Amino acid sequence: MISEFQEALLDTVGACPPTQIANNKYENVLENLDSGIMLFDSDGVLSFINVQMAKLLELPRSSLAGRNLMQILHLPELSRFKKKILRIYKETIFHRKRYHELIDEYGRHWLMTVTYGDQMDGDFLFSVKDVSDYKQIEQTAYQNDKLAMLGRISASIAHEIRNPLTAIRGFIQLLRPHLMELGRDEYARIILTEIDRANDIIYEFLNSSKPSAPQKTAVSVMGLLKEVVMLTESEALMKGCQIALDENNELMKVSIDVKQIKQVILNMIKNAMDAIESISGEREGCIDIHTVLEGSYVHICIEDNGLGMDHNTLSRLFDPFFTTKESGTGLGLAVSYRIIKNHGGFIHVDSKHGMGTQFKITLPVV
């Protein structure tokens, strides 16, 4: 036995032609895609828009359907998208470009695809998808490739420079007795000292560009941060800023190479001090350091109210040799990235120009 409702439903389905049922099914699929879809007919009128696209535009579909592109652009709610939409329209129509990559004000990456031509019977289909996760994976892989290349270059440089320096050092030592007879032993001493200094610089460069495997010990996160703050407080005061440490999660421990992680945190605090020094006089500088326990990970957050960074700087921040400082080497953050990665963690940066920066170091807890 079937209910009256089921009978009515079967009658309705039976009354619908197969084409109509198929169309309803396909339309339902389009409605529930995670990509935004817009379809303009040959007259340029919006004939279909799915739920996801309406959410992205933050407008009800009823206010968009049936309008042409110019009418849509004149909606006040879409004023912030106007320039981007016009640029996409120009590139599509005049340059036959079908794929467009956009970055919104929150740093998310969007891929827009335009489909038109004979297969669309004069219609234009626009689809928009959030590809931020794919971009992050791509950027991580690219970063790893660059760091591996940096390690190989460093090893090659160290080998090529150290060999002649060793030979020079040996010959100076052979000549030293003759220089002593001439009363010029000081020359030999200075040359040997400078050669040793050059060797030390090469060693530091090689060690920093290709950090050794971490020698881990279990330490208190808060104890480590207190020690780092103590080391940097006096320099911070000289640069006109205060360091505020939120002493919570006292018992939390991580298994780390203390020397390496201390190097990372010191580097980030010094970067924060430089960012604050560049806006001295505008406002009082402050560096806030706090920890957040989330599942089996701890986030060490270092936040400043300094100059901040634009998107172009952020996108290259961990590139080897990229620096915005006159006397910088561009290795500090690249090395920090690899150290944290070797510890099974990661670094996240959030910054806006003129509004400060937050570095978040994530490490697994013991």
Helices (H) and strands (E) in the chain, counts: 11, 12
Total domains present in the chain? 3
Confidence of residue 128 (pLDDT cuts 50, 70, 90): confident
Do 237 and 352 share a structural domain?
Answer: yes
| Domain's final residue, options 209, 235, 269 | 209
Q: Kindly state the average pLDDT of the residues 4-16.
A: 49
State the DSSP code for 324. Answer: S
89 domain residue, yes or no: yes
| Domain's final residue, options 180, 209, 238 | 209
83 domain residue, yes or no: yes
Predicted pLDDT of residue 206: 65
Distance in angstroms (rounded) separating the CA atoms of residues 64 and 72? 7
Do 318 and 260 share a structural domain?
Answer: yes
Whether 341 and 325 have beta carbons less than 8 Å apart is answered as no
The CA-atom distances, in angstroms, between 58 and each of 48, 80, 135 are 16, 12, 24
The CA-atom distances, in angstroms, between 266 and each of 66, 196, 325 are 59, 27, 17
Predicted pLDDT of residue 10: 46
Do 227 and 288 share a structural domain?
Answer: yes
| Range of 30-34, 107-111, 153-157, 272-276 with top mean pLDDT | 272-276
Do 343 and 253 share a structural domain?
Answer: yes
3 compared with 214, residue with greater pLDDT: 214
CATH of the domain at 221: 3.30.565.10
* Helix/strand/coil for 282: coil
Distance in angstroms (rounded) separating the CA atoms of residues 280 and 241? 9
Distance in angstroms (rounded) separating the CA atoms of residues 224 and 256? 11
Confidence of residue 17 (pLDDT cuts 50, 70, 90): low
Four-point Cα dihedral 36, 41, 45, 51, nearest 10: -20
Do 266 and 244 share a structural domain?
Answer: yes
Question: Does the pTM exceed 0.85?
Answer: no
pLDDT of 212 over the 80 cut: no
The tokens 């020397």 sit on which residue?
259
Phi, psi of 307 (to 5 degrees): -70, -30
Q: For the ranges 81-90, 149-158, 247-256, 301-310, which has the lowest average pLDDT?
A: 149-158
13 compared with 352, residue with greater pLDDT: 352
CATH of the domain at 50: 3.30.450.20
119 domain residue, yes or no: yes
93 domain residue, yes or no: yes
151 domain residue, yes or no: yes
176 domain residue, yes or no: yes
13 domain residue, yes or no: no
277 domain residue, yes or no: yes
Predicted pLDDT of residue 345: 92
How large a percentage of the chain has pLDDT more than 90?
15
Domain extent, residue 64, equals 33-130
| Domain's final residue, options 83, 105, 130 | 130
Do 330 and 256 share a structural domain?
Answer: yes
Q: Kindly state the average pLDDT of the residues 154-160.
A: 71
Four-point Cα dihedral 227, 228, 233, 235, nearest 10: 140
Do 200 and 88 share a structural domain?
Answer: no
Do 150 and 169 share a structural domain?
Answer: yes
Q: Kindly state the average pLDDT of the residues 66-73.
A: 82
Do 334 and 299 share a structural domain?
Answer: yes
Do 222 and 190 share a structural domain?
Answer: no
292 compared with 85, residue with greater pLDDT: 292
Do 170 and 116 share a structural domain?
Answer: no
Task: At 239, list the tokens.
Answer: 């640069």
Do 245 and 186 share a structural domain?
Answer: no
